[in-house]
Amino acid sequence: MKTNCFKAIFLLGLTLYFSANAIGQWTENTEKCRVLYPGKTDPFETWLQARSEKSLRSDLAQTVYQIPVVVHVIHWGNPIGEGYNITDEQIYSQIRILNEDFRRKPNSPGYNEHPDGADAGIEFVLAKSDPNGQATSGIVRVNSKNIESPGFGGTMIGLGAYYSFWDPYKYLNIWSFPGVQDFGLGEAWFPIADLPDLEDEVEFVIPGLDSIHGIAVKDIDGIAINALHFGEIDLDTEYNLGRTGTHEVGHFLGLYHLWGTEGFEANCDIDDYCTDTPNISSITTGCPVNKLACDRTPAMIENYMDYTNDDCQNLFTNEQVLRMRTVLENSPRRKSLFNSDGLKYPDEILKSPKPHSELFTANPNPFHDKIQLKIPTTAISKPLKLTYYDLSGTLLKEEYIPNATSNRILLTPPSPESKLFFLKIENGSGITQLVKLVRR
């Protein structure tokens, strides 16, 4: 579209998070994804230009990045392969599709010969080790019927995180969520910027979207996919080839919809900040080969960031790829992913010349009134900042410990109405960790 992509890559990060609120590929009664958008863009212009131009000049443009993935399968107690407890094979198909689409692989549905088509150089790998350094398949199955209800509504990601959640600094969390119609096809959180002045920006819902189920919680990150549209599946004739996942990961890495930043609105004056994706005046569904863009050239109906049918899509453009790679190389919780220990088997971590960092742990958890926070050896005698959030994104409590002199600290968490909340731990060694806390 018309606005320079280089000057807008991090517009999306301004309010800390966006949840993807756009109708990804939609039918009459279905929205694909949800997104919250930023409200101001000026602070990003100089910052963004330097980073995007550096990405163009750098040989990092030739680097293939791998992202460790954990798939949380939220189900209702069915055996594997029944109901919403999707099979391993269905999960493998989604990972394969992501790799075909992001790598523009020849002889796959993700290949195209479009002159603006590009290989993103980004791959997705099911995690090999979990947050505790133990071997994992990268698949976590959670019977939600065995867990007390959280007692709130919310987004797929917010509810999914209640049941199962891994550190977003080290893993791309993907939730397969029971096919509840209200949640649409999928959902994604957008990146954040690293400008210090924006750290305390309040997340908000754009006008007209304030009825959305909830607002993103700071540091809860990832994408969610309706189980009825996860990977290759024969339950739908339009969104059955895994492109919901591709679309949502596009948001996760900073892409807007083709019609721009205004939620459900589309017109020729709104764009997505990429010059090689022609502006369109309406959301595209189906596979209308004769649709025209605002400049009367063919509309890019094959682009993953519109809402056309899965079998119609096979394209990321050069500027979309530049945008995603710039996000991956610069944004907090993105730039740490391709160096994550989640990409290594446990024995590789132990053999690594770089010591495996210890984790903060909270016990007991679930708890009644107090928890004991165990401090890693590397964090002793360093300052600690402790921040508690509930699932609505509300700041509950902050504590600052100037000098952690012991390896154990007794904490009294706040008493929120929700039984689940999150503790963000930051220390002087550069360690940032998110711990899920559950009150009995």
- Helix and strand numbers (H, E) in the chain are 6, 13
| Separation between Cα atoms, residue 45 and residue 25, nearest integer Å | 31
pLDDT at 365: 87
| Separation between Cα atoms, residue 123 and residue 116, nearest integer Å | 20
pLDDT at 56: 64
Short-list 89, 117, 377, CA closest to 242: 89
65 DSSP β-pair partners? 122
pLDDT at 213: 28
pLDDT at 235: 77
Say whether 2 sits in a helix, a strand or coil: coil
Give the H/E segment covering residue 416.
none
pLDDT at 211: 27
| Separation between Cα atoms, residue 20 and residue 183, nearest integer Å | 12
Cα 163 vs. chain centroid, distance in angstroms? 17
What are the tens digits of pLDDT across the range 325-368? 988 998 888 999 999 999 999 987 666 554 445 678 899 988 98
Structure tokens at 325: 């790679």
As a whole number of angstroms, the longest Cα–Cα distance in the chain is 68
**Per-residue tens of pLDDT for the chain, all 440 residues:** 444 443 333 333 332 233 333 223 343 434 566 653 333 444 433 455 566 666 665 645 579 999 999 999 999 999 999 999 999 999 999 999 999 999 999 999 999 999 999 999 999 999 999 998 999 999 999 999 888 776 555 678 878 888 899 999 999 999 999 976 666 899 998 877 665 544 433 333 322 223 222 333 456 789 999 999 999 988 778 999 999 999 999 999 989 899 987 666 788 988 888 899 999 999 999 999 999 999 999 999 999 999 999 999 999 999 999 989 988 998 888 999 999 999 999 987 666 554 445 678 899 988 988 999 998 887 888 889 998 887 666 788 999 988 888 888 999 999 877 677 888 888 876 667 878 888 88
Which residue, chain included where needed, has tokens 């919250």?
36
Give residue limits of the domains in the chain. Answer: 5-338, 357-438
Q: Pick left, alpha or beta for residue 194 (phi over 0 → left; psi -120 to 50 → alpha; otherwise beta).
A: alpha
What pTM did the predictor assign? 0.78
At 113, the amino acid letter reads E
Parallel, antiparallel or unpaired: strands 223-226 and 172-177? parallel
Domain 357-438 fold is: Immunoglobulin-like (2.60.40)
CB 52 within 8 A of CB 326: yes
What CATH number was assigned to the domain covering residues 5-338?
3.40.390.10
- Which class for 338: exposed (0-12), middle (13-18), buried (19 or more C-beta within 10 A)? middle
Which residue, chain included where needed, has tokens 């509504």?
153
| Separation between Cα atoms, residue 406 and residue 221, nearest integer Å | 31
| Separation between Cα atoms, residue 73 and residue 143, nearest integer Å | 8
Question: Which runs of E-coded beta strand occur in 29-138?
Answer: 65-75, 122-126
| Separation between Cα atoms, residue 427 and residue 240, nearest integer Å | 44
| Separation between Cα atoms, residue 158 and residue 318, nearest integer Å | 33
Give the number of other CB atoms < 10 A from CB of residue 183.
23
| Separation between Cα atoms, residue 172 and residue 192, nearest integer Å | 15
Query: Euclidean distance between the first and final Cα of the chain, in Å?
Result: 51
384-389 β-sheet, strand order: 395-401, 384-389, 420-427, 432-438
CB 3 within 8 A of CB 158: no
CB 137 within 8 A of CB 126: yes
Structure tokens at 329: 């190389």
CB 205 within 8 A of CB 215: yes
Give the number of other CB atoms < 10 A from CB of residue 205.
17
